[in-house]
Amino acid sequence: MKPKHYIIVGFCLFVLVAALTNPGTEKHKEEVKLKMNVFLEKEIDKENTTSNDEMSKAGGILGDALAQSMVNILVDNIVSSSNYIVFSTTNVTIEGKNKTIGFGILGNVFLSSKIDEAIKQ
C-alpha cells in the first residue's frame, strides 16, 4: 500500500470513531448542569463561611438542594444539542435567541469560557 492509502484509511477510521462516539443531548445537558452546580456550590460555600450558627448552615444546605433542582429544570428546558455526525454543539435558547456554548467530539463535551461569564451574571 502506498502512504496515500494509509492516510485515507486513517481518516476513514477517525470519522467512523468520531461518529460512533459523538455525545448525545443528555451528555451536553449533564456537562452544563455540572458546571452550574459547581458554580453554585462555590457561591453557597462563600456564604456559609461567613456564618457560624447551625440554622444558617441548615439553611445553606436547604438552599443548595433547592438551587440544584432549579438548575436541573432550567437546563432541561433551555439546553439542546445539534448533531453533525462527527461532532455536536451545545446550544442554549434564551429569549428566543439560540447561542452555541460548547461542542462535543469523541465522547467529550467542551464548554466555552463564555458560560462562566454568563453564570456570574
Distance in angstroms (rounded) separating the CA atoms of residues 33 and 68: 8
Q: Tens of pLDDT along 78-112?
A: 888 888 989 998 888 888 888 888 889 998 898 88
What total of structural domains would you count in the chain?
A: 1
CB 90 within 8 A of CB 33: no
User: In angstroms, what CA-CA distances link 42 with 10, 27, 35, 105, 108?
Assistant: 44, 23, 11, 28, 24
- The pTM for the full model equals 0.74
Q: Tens of pLDDT along 24-43?
A: 889 988 888 888 888 777 77
CB 106 within 8 A of CB 18: yes
Domain that holds residue 82: 3-120
Measured from the Cβ of residue 35, the count of other Cβ atoms closer than 10 Å reads 19
